[in-house]
Amino acid sequence: MNTHQARRVHISRRKLALGLAIAPAIVRAQTDWPSRPVRIVVPTAAGGAVDVLARLMAPQLAQRLGQPFFVENRPGPGTILGMQAVARSPADGYTLLFAAGPLAINSALGMTLPYDPMTDFTYVSKVASIPTLVVVHPSRPHRTLADLVRAGRQEGLNMAVPVVGSLTHLLAEVLRTHSGANFIIVPYRGAGLAVQDVVAGNVDAFYDGLVPTGQHVLAGRLRGIAVGSRTRSPLLPDVASVSEQGMDDLLASAFFGMLGPSGLPEGIVARLHAALLEALAADEVRERLLAQGYVIDGTTGDEYRSFIAAEIARWKPVVAAAGIRI
């Protein structure tokens, strides 16, 4: 054996020894996880649907995994700041993310992002979703999507959406394009202001999510026109689904899931995923979510990743056709 070969063997043995020394520590870290409090970043302000879900799940995870799980709100335009913070965090299981629709839609909008949604995160589970909902003021005569389309074709119709580039904005564009109706789409700076205007009768219709706008339908302040699912929502059993009304191209839900930074160890992912599914199966959690209008998903990480990829592909041509710019 020459000197060069001997040196290579020495280096290889040293690397092997180092690997053997590190491996038990990695396994032990995964087995012991969590050994201290875990932060769940919610990239929106407190009080929204994703925040409500995260705060419901945090104590459930703490109960099952033996350490505190606390929610940290990191709001910012397009939820980018919070998602970026998690993407750049150590992949040790102590910083997690509860993400919503912008995880996919930001990419479909062609935004320049400081992270790649397909490579910079470890997908754990799509936890729950909320069907979309079309509503009008009770003084309006419209009761179906066909009524809205007819009104749009005859005299025009104002349709509010929570914000430019939101899921319901894209759906309103699909409805306008596919029906040929003259909808004037009015984007707001958040769902709260839009709800105020539609309740006051200042706009004709509003395209939002079942949570929280469905509560206004239950209270009689708004009339439900269509739920964006194949079947009716238990929360609003009198409101027909988009499938019932022959408009499957409007099938869509706001969606919420848990992720971690890229490279999150498989052992940690497995423990976290099992705890999530166990929590979602608990009667008190299921009853509370269903009563509020959520749909429980509880997918695998691979299913969640595939769903996000499909959503990006679905909305890119809609964005291009409507000429939406952020």
Q: Per CATH, which fold does 131-250 belong to? A: D-Maltodextrin-Binding Protein; domain 2 (3.40.190)
* Rounded percentage of the chain residues whose pLDDT exceeds 70: 90
Digit-coded pLDDT (tens) for 237-287: 999 999 999 999 999 999 999 999 999 999 999 999 999 999 999 999 999
pTM: 0.86
Q: Are strands 253-261 and 223-227 parallel, antiparallel or unpaired?
A: unpaired
Contact, 213 vs 187, CB < 8 A?
no
Query: Which pLDDT score, from 0 to 100, does residue 13 have?
Result: 52
Query: Which pLDDT score, from 0 to 100, does residue 6 have?
Result: 47
Query: Which pLDDT score, from 0 to 100, does residue 2 have?
Result: 52
Q: At residue 225, does pLDDT exceed 70?
A: yes
Q: CATH 3.40.190.150 region(s) of the chain? A: 37-130+254-322
Q: CATH 3.40.190.10 region(s) of the chain? A: 131-250
Q: Which CATH number fits domain 37-130+254-322: 1.20.58.760, 3.10.105.10, 3.40.190.150, 3.30.1490.70?
A: 3.40.190.150
Digit-coded pLDDT (tens) for 177-198: 989 888 899 999 888 899 999 9
Residues 6+ apart with CB under 8 A from 6: none
Query: Which pLDDT score, from 0 to 100, does residue 23 have?
Result: 41
Given pLDDT bands bounded at 50, 70 and 90, which one contains residue 212? confident
266-281 vs 283-292: helix crossing angle, rounded to 10: 70
CA dist., res. 67 & res. 33, Å (int): 9
Task: Give the residue, 297 or 21, on which the prediction is more confident.
Answer: 297
Task: Give the residue, 180 or 136, on which the prediction is more confident.
Answer: 136
Given pLDDT bands bounded at 50, 70 and 90, which one contains residue 1? low
Q: In Å, what is the CA distance from 255 to each residue of 132, 266, 322? A: 10, 24, 23
Query: Which pLDDT score, from 0 to 100, does residue 22 have?
Result: 44
* Region 195-213 average pLDDT: 92
Residue 149: strand, helix, or coil: helix
Residue 262: strand, helix, or coil: coil
Q: Angle at CA 309, nearest 5°, toward 305 and 310?
A: 115
CA dist., res. 280 & res. 57, Å (int): 8
Digit-coded pLDDT (tens) for 4-61: 444 444 444 554 455 454 444 444 445 689 999 999 999 998 988 899 999 999 999 9
Of the listed ranges 77-81, 187-191, 288-292, 311-315, the one predicted with least confidence: 187-191
